[in-house]
Amino acid sequence: MTTYGSAVPHQETPHENETTQTIISDALRRRAQSVINNSSIDAQWRAVIRYALEINDPWLPDLVRRAAAGESIIDSAEFSLAPKQETKTMR
């Protein structure tokens, strides 16, 4: 078998299971801690924020903003455990 001298070496790309390091700013960390310590915020939100902070979740800024704004953790109008049933029309 011949080797080609003009071949380009394969560029290494991270595998799906490799994690990337997310840097959380001090200001965001303080805001998240403020949400966690605020007893007027829903306990589920505080638990989500605490966990997101622990794992350096890239969604932490959005989660902190939504929790501080008082949004419900799950919008029941958009989320349901029951499968959506399609309606069939008869012609």
Q: What is the pLDDT of residue 28?
A: 94
Q: DSSP states of 41-74 as a string?
A: S-HHHHHHHHHHHHTT-TTHHHHHHHHHTT--SS
Rounded to the nearest 10 degrees, the angle between the axes of helix 60-68 and helix 43-54 is: 160
Q: What is the pLDDT of residue 73?
A: 79
**What's the pLDDT tens digit per position in 23-80?**
789 999 999 999 999 999 999 999 999 999 999 999 999 999 999 999 987 755 555 5
Model confidence band, residue 22 (pLDDT cutoffs 50, 70, 90): low
Q: Which helix (H) or strand (E) holds 90?
A: none
